[in-house]
Structure 1
Amino acid sequence: MEEILDIYQRPYDPLLPVVCIDETSKQLIKETRVPGILGKPEKLDYEYERNGSANVFMIFEPLGGKRETIITETRTALDFARVLKHTADILYPRVEKIILITDNLNTHTKSSLYKAFSPEEAHRLAERFDWHYTPKHGSWLDMAEIEIGILSRQALGKPLPDMESFQRQVNIWTIKRNTESVKANWQFTTLDARIKLKRLYPIL
Protein backbone atom coordinates (compact mmCIF):
# COMPACT_ATOMS: atom_id res chain seq x y z
CA MET A 1 0.00 0.00 0.00
CA GLU A 2 2.73 2.48 0.94
CA GLU A 3 4.53 1.73 -2.32
CA ILE A 4 1.45 2.81 -4.31
CA LEU A 5 0.86 5.87 -2.13
CA ASP A 6 4.49 6.96 -2.50
CA ILE A 7 4.17 6.78 -6.30
CA TYR A 8 1.05 8.95 -6.19
CA GLN A 9 2.98 11.61 -4.30
CA ARG A 10 5.68 11.94 -6.95
CA PRO A 11 5.73 15.17 -9.00
CA TYR A 12 4.37 14.90 -12.53
CA ASP A 13 6.96 13.73 -15.06
CA PRO A 14 5.73 13.36 -18.67
CA LEU A 15 8.65 11.03 -19.44
CA LEU A 16 7.71 8.74 -16.53
CA PRO A 17 3.91 8.81 -16.58
CA VAL A 18 1.95 7.05 -13.86
CA VAL A 19 -0.74 5.03 -15.62
CA CYS A 20 -3.50 3.10 -13.86
CA ILE A 21 -5.32 0.27 -15.63
CA ASP A 22 -8.45 -1.59 -14.61
CA GLU A 23 -11.51 -3.10 -16.26
CA THR A 24 -15.16 -3.88 -15.61
CA SER A 25 -17.95 -5.77 -17.35
CA LYS A 26 -21.51 -4.56 -17.93
CA GLN A 27 -24.55 -6.63 -18.84
CA LEU A 28 -26.23 -5.55 -22.06
CA ILE A 29 -30.01 -5.39 -21.66
CA LYS A 30 -32.45 -5.36 -24.58
CA GLU A 31 -36.06 -4.31 -24.04
CA THR A 32 -38.55 -6.96 -25.22
CA ARG A 33 -41.74 -5.16 -24.17
CA VAL A 34 -44.47 -5.25 -26.81
CA PRO A 35 -45.86 -1.76 -27.70
CA GLY A 36 -49.38 -1.00 -26.52
CA ILE A 37 -52.43 -1.17 -28.80
CA LEU A 38 -53.39 2.13 -30.41
CA GLY A 39 -56.27 3.78 -28.55
CA LYS A 40 -55.80 1.78 -25.36
CA PRO A 41 -53.88 2.74 -22.22
CA GLU A 42 -50.30 1.53 -22.42
CA LYS A 43 -49.36 -1.10 -19.84
CA LEU A 44 -45.70 -1.14 -18.84
CA ASP A 45 -43.81 -4.08 -17.47
CA TYR A 46 -40.17 -4.97 -16.96
CA GLU A 47 -39.64 -7.55 -19.69
CA TYR A 48 -36.09 -7.60 -20.99
CA GLU A 49 -33.59 -9.89 -22.61
CA ARG A 50 -29.96 -10.33 -21.66
CA ASN A 51 -27.93 -9.51 -24.77
CA GLY A 52 -24.44 -10.54 -23.71
CA SER A 53 -21.94 -8.34 -21.94
CA ALA A 54 -19.42 -5.66 -22.77
CA ASN A 55 -16.08 -5.11 -21.09
CA VAL A 56 -14.37 -1.74 -20.78
CA PHE A 57 -10.67 -1.30 -20.00
CA MET A 58 -9.77 2.02 -18.39
CA ILE A 59 -6.28 3.39 -19.04
CA PHE A 60 -6.00 6.44 -16.79
CA GLU A 61 -3.13 8.88 -16.29
CA PRO A 62 -4.32 10.75 -13.18
CA LEU A 63 -1.75 13.58 -13.20
CA GLY A 64 -2.02 14.12 -16.95
CA GLY A 65 -5.81 14.24 -16.94
CA LYS A 66 -5.98 11.69 -19.77
CA ARG A 67 -7.83 8.46 -20.11
CA GLU A 68 -8.40 5.90 -22.85
CA THR A 69 -11.26 3.41 -22.87
CA ILE A 70 -11.06 0.17 -24.85
CA ILE A 71 -14.17 -1.94 -25.35
CA THR A 72 -13.85 -5.72 -25.65
CA GLU A 73 -16.24 -8.65 -25.57
CA THR A 74 -14.08 -10.53 -23.07
CA ARG A 75 -11.60 -9.78 -20.28
CA THR A 76 -8.99 -12.48 -20.80
CA ALA A 77 -5.21 -12.46 -20.52
CA LEU A 78 -5.07 -11.83 -24.28
CA ASP A 79 -7.29 -8.76 -23.94
CA PHE A 80 -5.10 -7.37 -21.15
CA ALA A 81 -1.96 -8.01 -23.21
CA ARG A 82 -3.40 -6.09 -26.16
CA VAL A 83 -4.33 -3.21 -23.85
CA LEU A 84 -0.73 -3.08 -22.61
CA LYS A 85 0.57 -3.05 -26.18
CA HIS A 86 -1.82 -0.21 -27.07
CA THR A 87 -0.66 1.69 -23.98
CA ALA A 88 3.04 1.23 -24.76
CA ASP A 89 3.06 1.67 -28.54
CA ILE A 90 0.15 4.01 -29.25
CA LEU A 91 -0.41 6.13 -26.13
CA TYR A 92 3.15 6.41 -24.77
CA PRO A 93 5.62 5.40 -27.52
CA ARG A 94 8.34 7.91 -26.56
CA VAL A 95 8.43 7.89 -22.77
CA GLU A 96 11.33 6.43 -20.81
CA LYS A 97 9.16 4.12 -18.73
CA ILE A 98 5.48 3.70 -17.91
CA ILE A 99 4.80 3.44 -14.18
CA LEU A 100 1.97 0.89 -14.22
CA ILE A 101 -0.52 0.61 -11.35
CA THR A 102 -2.99 -2.26 -11.46
CA ASP A 103 -4.68 -4.69 -9.11
CA ASN A 104 -3.48 -8.27 -8.64
CA LEU A 105 -6.05 -10.01 -10.84
CA ASN A 106 -4.54 -13.21 -12.22
CA THR A 107 -4.51 -11.85 -15.79
CA HIS A 108 -2.64 -8.67 -14.81
CA THR A 109 0.80 -10.20 -15.16
CA LYS A 110 3.71 -10.29 -17.57
CA SER A 111 2.76 -13.85 -18.44
CA SER A 112 -0.29 -12.48 -20.27
CA LEU A 113 2.09 -10.83 -22.74
CA TYR A 114 3.75 -14.18 -23.43
CA LYS A 115 0.36 -15.76 -24.11
CA ALA A 116 -0.45 -13.09 -26.70
CA PHE A 117 2.85 -12.37 -28.42
CA SER A 118 6.17 -13.91 -29.37
CA PRO A 119 8.77 -14.13 -26.56
CA GLU A 120 10.75 -11.26 -28.13
CA GLU A 121 7.71 -8.99 -28.39
CA ALA A 122 6.44 -9.94 -24.93
CA HIS A 123 9.84 -9.16 -23.39
CA ARG A 124 10.02 -5.82 -25.22
CA LEU A 125 6.59 -4.80 -23.94
CA ALA A 126 7.22 -6.03 -20.38
CA GLU A 127 10.35 -3.86 -20.21
CA ARG A 128 8.36 -0.76 -21.15
CA PHE A 129 6.54 -0.91 -17.80
CA ASP A 130 7.56 -0.49 -14.17
CA TRP A 131 4.99 -2.84 -12.58
CA HIS A 132 3.26 -2.04 -9.27
CA TYR A 133 0.31 -3.91 -7.78
CA THR A 134 -2.27 -2.82 -5.24
CA PRO A 135 -2.43 -5.11 -2.18
CA LYS A 136 -5.04 -7.82 -1.81
CA HIS A 137 -8.40 -6.25 -0.89
CA GLY A 138 -6.87 -2.88 -1.76
CA SER A 139 -7.93 -2.45 -5.38
CA TRP A 140 -9.47 0.90 -4.38
CA LEU A 141 -5.89 2.21 -4.50
CA ASP A 142 -5.96 1.84 -8.29
CA MET A 143 -7.24 5.20 -9.53
CA ALA A 144 -8.53 3.57 -12.70
CA GLU A 145 -11.13 1.83 -10.53
CA ILE A 146 -12.29 5.23 -9.28
CA GLU A 147 -12.49 6.52 -12.85
CA ILE A 148 -14.55 3.47 -13.83
CA GLY A 149 -16.93 4.29 -10.99
CA ILE A 150 -17.38 7.80 -12.40
CA LEU A 151 -17.94 6.38 -15.90
CA SER A 152 -20.57 3.99 -14.53
CA ARG A 153 -22.46 6.77 -12.73
CA GLN A 154 -22.27 9.37 -15.49
CA ALA A 155 -22.67 7.26 -18.64
CA LEU A 156 -23.75 3.71 -17.85
CA GLY A 157 -26.52 4.22 -15.31
CA LYS A 158 -29.24 3.10 -17.73
CA PRO A 159 -29.32 -0.31 -19.46
CA LEU A 160 -27.82 -0.41 -22.95
CA PRO A 161 -29.12 -2.93 -25.51
CA ASP A 162 -26.05 -3.80 -27.58
CA MET A 163 -22.31 -3.40 -28.06
CA GLU A 164 -22.71 -0.53 -30.54
CA SER A 165 -24.69 1.66 -28.15
CA PHE A 166 -22.34 0.76 -25.30
CA GLN A 167 -19.32 1.77 -27.40
CA ARG A 168 -20.97 5.04 -28.42
CA GLN A 169 -21.91 5.95 -24.84
CA VAL A 170 -18.42 5.23 -23.49
CA ASN A 171 -16.74 7.13 -26.36
CA ILE A 172 -18.86 10.24 -25.78
CA TRP A 173 -18.02 10.20 -22.07
CA THR A 174 -14.29 9.65 -22.73
CA ILE A 175 -14.03 12.52 -25.23
CA LYS A 176 -15.88 14.90 -22.90
CA ARG A 177 -13.76 13.92 -19.89
CA ASN A 178 -10.50 14.34 -21.85
CA THR A 179 -11.62 17.66 -23.32
CA GLU A 180 -12.13 18.91 -19.78
CA SER A 181 -8.73 17.40 -18.84
CA VAL A 182 -10.08 16.12 -15.54
CA LYS A 183 -7.26 15.06 -13.21
CA ALA A 184 -7.44 13.03 -10.03
CA ASN A 185 -7.37 14.95 -6.76
CA TRP A 186 -5.73 12.21 -4.68
CA GLN A 187 -5.15 13.34 -1.09
CA PHE A 188 -4.66 10.06 0.81
CA THR A 189 -0.97 9.95 1.69
CA THR A 190 1.34 7.43 3.33
CA LEU A 191 1.13 9.41 6.58
CA ASP A 192 -2.68 9.28 6.43
CA ALA A 193 -2.51 5.52 5.96
CA ARG A 194 -0.32 5.07 9.03
CA ILE A 195 -2.88 6.98 11.10
CA LYS A 196 -6.23 5.84 9.66
CA LEU A 197 -5.17 2.26 8.95
CA LYS A 198 -3.09 1.83 12.07
CA ARG A 199 -4.74 -1.53 12.81
CA LEU A 200 -3.13 -3.00 9.68
CA TYR A 201 0.41 -2.28 10.85
CA PRO A 202 2.35 -4.61 13.14
CA ILE A 203 2.64 -3.66 16.78
CA LEU A 204 6.31 -3.38 17.76
Structure 2
Amino acid sequence: MWCVPELDSRYIERMEDVLEVYARPLRSAEPVVCFDERPVQLLEWVRPASPARPGREARQDYAYFRCGTANLFCAVEPKAGWHFVKATPNRKSEAFAEALRDVANHYPNAETIHLVLDNLSTHSCRALEVRYGVRAGRRLWRRFSVHYTPVHGSWLNQAEVEISLLSRQCLGNRRIPTLDKLDQETAAWERWANRQQLRIRWRFTVPKARARFGYDPPSFSRSEELCSTPKGVAHHEAHLARCHPGRGPLHRRRFPGPDRRPQHPARHEVGRHRQGRHARLQGLHGALGSEGLP
Protein backbone atom coordinates (compact mmCIF):
# COMPACT_ATOMS: atom_id res chain seq x y z
CA MET A 1 0.00 0.00 0.00
CA TRP A 2 1.30 3.45 -0.93
CA CYS A 3 0.45 4.92 2.48
CA VAL A 4 2.87 2.58 4.30
CA PRO A 5 6.37 4.15 4.13
CA GLU A 6 8.35 1.22 5.58
CA LEU A 7 7.10 -2.11 6.86
CA ASP A 8 9.49 -2.86 9.74
CA SER A 9 9.04 -4.77 12.99
CA ARG A 10 7.93 -1.66 14.89
CA TYR A 11 5.25 -0.87 12.31
CA ILE A 12 4.00 -4.47 12.27
CA GLU A 13 3.87 -4.64 16.06
CA ARG A 14 1.76 -1.52 16.43
CA MET A 15 -0.47 -2.41 13.48
CA GLU A 16 -1.26 -5.89 14.81
CA ASP A 17 -1.79 -4.52 18.31
CA VAL A 18 -4.46 -2.12 17.01
CA LEU A 19 -6.07 -4.79 14.83
CA GLU A 20 -6.23 -7.23 17.75
CA VAL A 21 -7.98 -4.56 19.81
CA TYR A 22 -10.54 -4.11 17.04
CA ALA A 23 -11.18 -7.87 17.05
CA ARG A 24 -12.25 -7.82 20.71
CA PRO A 25 -15.94 -8.55 21.35
CA LEU A 26 -18.16 -5.75 22.56
CA ARG A 27 -17.87 -5.48 26.36
CA SER A 28 -19.09 -2.66 28.57
CA ALA A 29 -16.27 -3.34 31.03
CA GLU A 30 -13.60 -2.81 28.34
CA PRO A 31 -14.89 -0.48 25.63
CA VAL A 32 -12.73 0.21 22.57
CA VAL A 33 -12.69 3.91 21.70
CA CYS A 34 -10.89 5.58 18.77
CA PHE A 35 -9.89 9.22 19.20
CA ASP A 36 -8.64 11.88 16.79
CA GLU A 37 -9.00 15.56 15.89
CA ARG A 38 -9.39 17.72 12.81
CA PRO A 39 -9.02 21.46 12.12
CA VAL A 40 -11.93 23.57 10.90
CA GLN A 41 -11.75 26.89 9.10
CA LEU A 42 -14.37 29.41 10.25
CA LEU A 43 -15.83 31.33 7.31
CA GLU A 44 -18.50 34.03 6.92
CA TRP A 45 -20.47 35.06 3.86
CA VAL A 46 -19.57 38.35 2.18
CA ARG A 47 -23.10 38.46 0.77
CA PRO A 48 -25.86 36.24 2.16
CA ALA A 49 -26.84 33.27 0.06
CA SER A 50 -30.05 33.44 -1.93
CA PRO A 51 -32.39 30.53 -1.08
CA ALA A 52 -34.03 28.39 -3.71
CA ARG A 53 -37.49 29.22 -4.93
CA PRO A 54 -39.79 27.80 -7.60
CA GLY A 55 -38.07 28.01 -10.96
CA ARG A 56 -34.66 29.06 -9.56
CA GLU A 57 -31.89 27.23 -7.75
CA ALA A 58 -30.18 28.49 -4.63
CA ARG A 59 -27.36 30.97 -5.26
CA GLN A 60 -24.18 31.33 -3.22
CA ASP A 61 -21.41 33.86 -3.64
CA TYR A 62 -17.86 32.50 -3.85
CA ALA A 63 -16.37 35.32 -1.74
CA TYR A 64 -16.02 34.88 2.03
CA PHE A 65 -14.46 36.36 5.15
CA ARG A 66 -11.94 34.38 7.19
CA CYS A 67 -12.96 34.21 10.85
CA GLY A 68 -10.07 32.15 12.21
CA THR A 69 -9.80 28.44 12.86
CA ALA A 70 -11.14 25.93 15.37
CA ASN A 71 -10.64 22.28 16.26
CA LEU A 72 -12.91 19.27 16.59
CA PHE A 73 -12.07 16.34 18.86
CA CYS A 74 -13.85 13.22 17.65
CA ALA A 75 -14.22 9.88 19.40
CA VAL A 76 -16.19 6.79 18.47
CA GLU A 77 -16.87 3.38 19.95
CA PRO A 78 -17.28 1.56 16.62
CA LYS A 79 -19.13 -1.59 17.73
CA ALA A 80 -21.49 0.22 20.12
CA GLY A 81 -22.30 3.15 17.85
CA TRP A 82 -21.39 5.83 20.43
CA HIS A 83 -20.15 9.13 18.99
CA PHE A 84 -18.46 12.08 20.68
CA VAL A 85 -17.62 15.50 19.18
CA LYS A 86 -16.15 18.45 21.07
CA ALA A 87 -15.47 21.85 19.47
CA THR A 88 -12.49 23.74 20.91
CA PRO A 89 -10.50 26.84 19.90
CA ASN A 90 -7.35 24.72 19.39
CA ARG A 91 -5.90 21.26 19.91
CA LYS A 92 -3.41 22.12 22.67
CA SER A 93 -2.69 19.73 25.50
CA GLU A 94 -5.21 21.39 27.85
CA ALA A 95 -8.02 20.94 25.32
CA PHE A 96 -6.96 17.33 24.69
CA ALA A 97 -6.99 16.60 28.43
CA GLU A 98 -10.50 18.00 28.83
CA ALA A 99 -11.81 16.00 25.87
CA LEU A 100 -10.24 12.83 27.28
CA ARG A 101 -11.88 13.48 30.65
CA ASP A 102 -15.27 13.73 28.90
CA VAL A 103 -14.64 10.36 27.24
CA ALA A 104 -13.68 8.79 30.60
CA ASN A 105 -16.81 10.23 32.26
CA HIS A 106 -18.95 8.40 29.70
CA TYR A 107 -17.66 5.07 31.05
CA PRO A 108 -17.76 5.44 34.87
CA ASN A 109 -17.95 1.67 35.51
CA ALA A 110 -15.43 0.47 32.93
CA GLU A 111 -12.45 -1.52 34.19
CA THR A 112 -10.28 -0.04 31.45
CA ILE A 113 -10.91 1.92 28.26
CA HIS A 114 -8.95 0.75 25.22
CA LEU A 115 -8.01 4.02 23.53
CA VAL A 116 -6.61 4.12 19.98
CA LEU A 117 -4.52 7.24 19.30
CA ASP A 118 -2.09 8.48 16.68
CA ASN A 119 1.36 9.87 17.46
CA LEU A 120 0.56 13.55 17.95
CA SER A 121 2.83 15.10 20.58
CA THR A 122 -0.09 16.10 22.85
CA HIS A 123 -1.41 12.52 23.02
CA SER A 124 0.41 11.66 26.23
CA CYS A 125 0.07 11.53 29.99
CA ARG A 126 2.01 14.79 30.19
CA ALA A 127 -0.95 16.70 28.74
CA LEU A 128 -3.20 15.48 31.57
CA GLU A 129 -0.56 16.29 34.19
CA VAL A 130 -0.28 19.86 32.88
CA ARG A 131 -4.04 20.36 32.97
CA TYR A 132 -5.04 18.55 36.19
CA GLY A 133 -1.80 18.15 38.11
CA VAL A 134 0.49 15.15 38.38
CA ARG A 135 -1.65 13.00 40.68
CA ALA A 136 -5.02 13.65 39.07
CA GLY A 137 -3.56 13.51 35.57
CA ARG A 138 -1.90 10.15 36.12
CA ARG A 139 -5.01 8.79 37.80
CA LEU A 140 -7.07 9.76 34.75
CA TRP A 141 -4.45 8.36 32.34
CA ARG A 142 -4.47 5.01 34.15
CA ARG A 143 -8.13 4.58 33.22
CA PHE A 144 -7.03 4.06 29.63
CA SER A 145 -5.14 1.28 27.91
CA VAL A 146 -3.55 3.30 25.12
CA HIS A 147 -2.81 1.72 21.74
CA TYR A 148 -0.79 3.94 19.40
CA THR A 149 -1.06 3.53 15.66
CA PRO A 150 2.20 3.17 13.72
CA VAL A 151 3.95 6.28 12.43
CA HIS A 152 2.20 7.21 9.16
CA GLY A 153 -0.47 4.69 10.14
CA SER A 154 -3.43 6.94 10.94
CA TRP A 155 -5.47 4.97 8.40
CA LEU A 156 -5.70 2.29 11.12
CA ASN A 157 -7.59 4.67 13.41
CA GLN A 158 -11.35 4.29 13.00
CA ALA A 159 -11.76 7.83 14.26
CA GLU A 160 -10.78 8.84 10.71
CA VAL A 161 -14.03 7.20 9.56
CA GLU A 162 -15.87 9.18 12.24
CA ILE A 163 -14.31 12.42 10.97
CA SER A 164 -15.30 11.54 7.42
CA LEU A 165 -18.91 10.97 8.49
CA LEU A 166 -18.98 14.25 10.39
CA SER A 167 -17.48 16.15 7.46
CA ARG A 168 -19.91 14.75 4.89
CA GLN A 169 -23.09 14.69 6.99
CA CYS A 170 -22.67 17.84 9.09
CA LEU A 171 -20.02 20.26 7.84
CA GLY A 172 -20.03 19.69 4.08
CA ASN A 173 -19.48 22.95 2.15
CA ARG A 174 -21.25 25.06 4.76
CA ARG A 175 -19.71 28.26 6.05
CA ILE A 176 -19.70 28.42 9.84
CA PRO A 177 -18.44 31.76 11.20
CA THR A 178 -18.07 31.23 14.96
CA LEU A 179 -17.00 28.59 17.44
CA ASP A 180 -20.40 28.72 19.18
CA LYS A 181 -22.19 28.00 15.90
CA LEU A 182 -19.76 25.14 15.19
CA ASP A 183 -20.43 23.70 18.64
CA GLN A 184 -24.21 23.85 18.08
CA GLU A 185 -24.06 22.17 14.68
CA THR A 186 -21.70 19.37 15.74
CA ALA A 187 -23.67 18.76 18.96
CA ALA A 188 -26.84 18.34 16.91
CA TRP A 189 -25.09 15.83 14.63
CA GLU A 190 -23.72 13.97 17.68
CA ARG A 191 -27.21 13.59 19.15
CA TRP A 192 -28.56 12.35 15.83
CA ALA A 193 -25.71 9.85 15.33
CA ASN A 194 -26.14 8.46 18.85
CA ARG A 195 -29.88 8.05 18.34
CA GLN A 196 -29.20 6.17 15.13
CA GLN A 197 -26.34 4.21 16.80
CA LEU A 198 -24.23 4.40 13.65
CA ARG A 199 -21.74 1.55 13.81
CA ILE A 200 -18.52 1.05 11.85
CA ARG A 201 -17.93 -2.37 10.30
CA TRP A 202 -14.16 -2.81 10.31
CA ARG A 203 -13.08 -5.70 8.07
CA PHE A 204 -9.29 -5.36 8.01
CA THR A 205 -7.90 -8.02 10.38
CA VAL A 206 -4.49 -9.44 11.30
CA PRO A 207 -4.71 -12.37 8.81
CA LYS A 208 -5.71 -9.96 6.05
CA ALA A 209 -2.82 -7.65 6.96
CA ARG A 210 -0.32 -10.52 6.74
CA ALA A 211 -1.75 -11.62 3.39
CA ARG A 212 -1.90 -8.06 2.03
CA PHE A 213 1.63 -7.06 3.01
CA GLY A 214 3.12 -10.52 2.52
CA TYR A 215 4.98 -11.06 5.80
CA ASP A 216 5.15 -14.00 8.19
CA PRO A 217 3.85 -13.83 11.78
CA PRO A 218 6.37 -11.82 13.81
CA SER A 219 8.48 -13.49 16.48
CA PHE A 220 9.13 -10.43 18.67
CA SER A 221 7.75 -10.13 22.21
CA ARG A 222 4.88 -7.68 22.35
CA SER A 223 5.54 -4.14 23.59
CA GLU A 224 8.87 -4.79 25.32
CA GLU A 225 10.62 -1.93 23.58
CA LEU A 226 7.62 0.31 23.12
CA CYS A 227 6.15 0.24 26.63
CA SER A 228 8.81 -0.77 29.16
CA THR A 229 11.47 1.63 27.86
CA PRO A 230 10.80 5.38 27.78
CA LYS A 231 10.35 6.69 24.27
CA GLY A 232 13.31 9.09 24.33
CA VAL A 233 15.67 6.50 25.85
CA ALA A 234 14.64 3.85 23.32
CA HIS A 235 15.22 6.29 20.44
CA HIS A 236 18.65 7.25 21.82
CA GLU A 237 19.67 3.62 22.25
CA ALA A 238 18.57 2.80 18.72
CA HIS A 239 20.57 5.74 17.37
CA LEU A 240 23.70 4.63 19.24
CA ALA A 241 23.29 1.08 18.02
CA ARG A 242 23.14 2.26 14.41
CA CYS A 243 25.94 4.84 14.56
CA HIS A 244 28.27 3.27 17.17
CA PRO A 245 27.85 -0.53 17.18
CA GLY A 246 30.61 -1.02 19.75
CA ARG A 247 29.11 1.20 22.42
CA GLY A 248 26.74 0.01 25.08
CA PRO A 249 23.34 1.57 25.84
CA LEU A 250 23.36 5.16 27.00
CA HIS A 251 27.15 5.36 26.67
CA ARG A 252 28.61 8.65 27.91
CA ARG A 253 32.14 9.92 27.53
CA ARG A 254 34.19 10.10 30.71
CA PHE A 255 36.70 12.90 31.11
CA PRO A 256 39.74 12.76 33.44
CA GLY A 257 38.90 14.22 36.82
CA PRO A 258 35.76 15.96 38.06
CA ASP A 259 34.56 18.83 35.90
CA ARG A 260 37.63 18.59 33.68
CA ARG A 261 37.55 18.23 29.93
CA PRO A 262 40.53 17.63 27.64
CA GLN A 263 41.82 20.88 26.19
CA HIS A 264 42.78 21.26 22.56
CA PRO A 265 46.62 21.66 22.12
CA ALA A 266 46.24 24.76 20.00
CA ARG A 267 44.04 26.41 22.65
CA HIS A 268 46.58 25.46 25.29
CA GLU A 269 49.38 27.19 23.36
CA VAL A 270 47.26 30.32 22.90
CA GLY A 271 46.65 30.40 26.65
CA ARG A 272 50.39 30.17 27.41
CA HIS A 273 51.11 32.95 24.91
CA ARG A 274 48.54 35.25 26.55
CA GLN A 275 49.95 34.57 30.03
CA GLY A 276 53.49 35.42 28.87
CA ARG A 277 52.33 38.65 27.20
CA HIS A 278 50.47 39.66 30.36
CA ALA A 279 53.63 39.09 32.46
CA ARG A 280 55.77 41.21 30.09
CA LEU A 281 53.28 44.08 30.21
CA GLN A 282 53.26 43.99 34.02
CA GLY A 283 57.09 44.17 34.08
CA LEU A 284 57.07 47.09 31.64
CA HIS A 285 54.54 49.01 33.75
CA GLY A 286 56.67 48.42 36.84
CA ALA A 287 59.81 49.69 35.15
CA LEU A 288 58.07 52.86 33.91
CA GLY A 289 56.59 53.47 37.33
CA SER A 290 59.98 53.22 39.06
CA GLU A 291 61.48 55.84 36.72
CA GLY A 292 58.71 58.25 37.47
CA LEU A 293 56.34 59.39 34.81
CA PRO A 294 55.20 63.02 34.42
- What TM-score do the two structures reach when normalised by structure 2? 0.63
Q: Between Structure 1 and Structure 2, which shows a larger proportion of helix residues?
A: 2
For each residue in 1:176-196, what CA deviation from the matched residue of structure 2 results, as whole angstroms up to 9, or x when unmatched?
111011111001001111111
Q: Which runs of 5+ in 1 are unaligned?
A: 37-42
Distance 2:49 2:168 in 1: 29
Match of 1:180 in 2: 196
For each residue in 1:138-163, what CA deviation from the matched residue of structure 2 results, as whole angstroms up to 9, or x when unmatched?
11111111101110011111221222
Q: Which runs of 5+ in 2 are unaligned?
A: 1-14, 51-58, 219-294
1:129 to 135, 139, 144: 144
What is the Cα deviation at residue 34 of structure 1?
7.8
Distance 1:92 1:135 in 2: 26
Distance 2:87 2:102 in 1: 13
Distance 1:35 1:141 in 2: 39
Match of 1:49 in 2: 65
- What TM-score do the two structures reach when normalised by structure 1? 0.89
Distance change (3 Å), C-alpha of 1:155 and 1:3 = same
Distance 1:122 1:149 in 2: 31
Distance change (3 Å), C-alpha of 1:46 and 1:3 = same
Match of 2:116 in 1: 101
Give the CA RMSD over aligned residues: 2.1
Q: Between Structure 1 and Structure 2, which shows a larger proportion of strand residues?
A: 1
For each residue in 1:73-117, what CA deviation from the matched residue of structure 2 results, as whole angstroms up to 9, or x when unmatched?
1100111111111222x2111110011101111111111111111
Would you say 1:86 and 2:102 are equivalent positions?
A: yes
Would you say 1:10 and 2:24 are equivalent positions?
A: yes
Distance 1:29 1:101 in 2: 31
2:44 to 14, 30, 33: 30
Distance 1:94 1:7 in 2: 20
Aligned residues: 195
Larger Rg: 2
User: Which consecutive segments of 4 or more residues in structure 1 shift more than 4 A?
Assistant: 199-202
Distance 1:201 1:146 in 2: 28
Is the Cα–Cα contact under 8 Å of residues 33 and 46 in structure 1 kept in the other structure? Answer: no
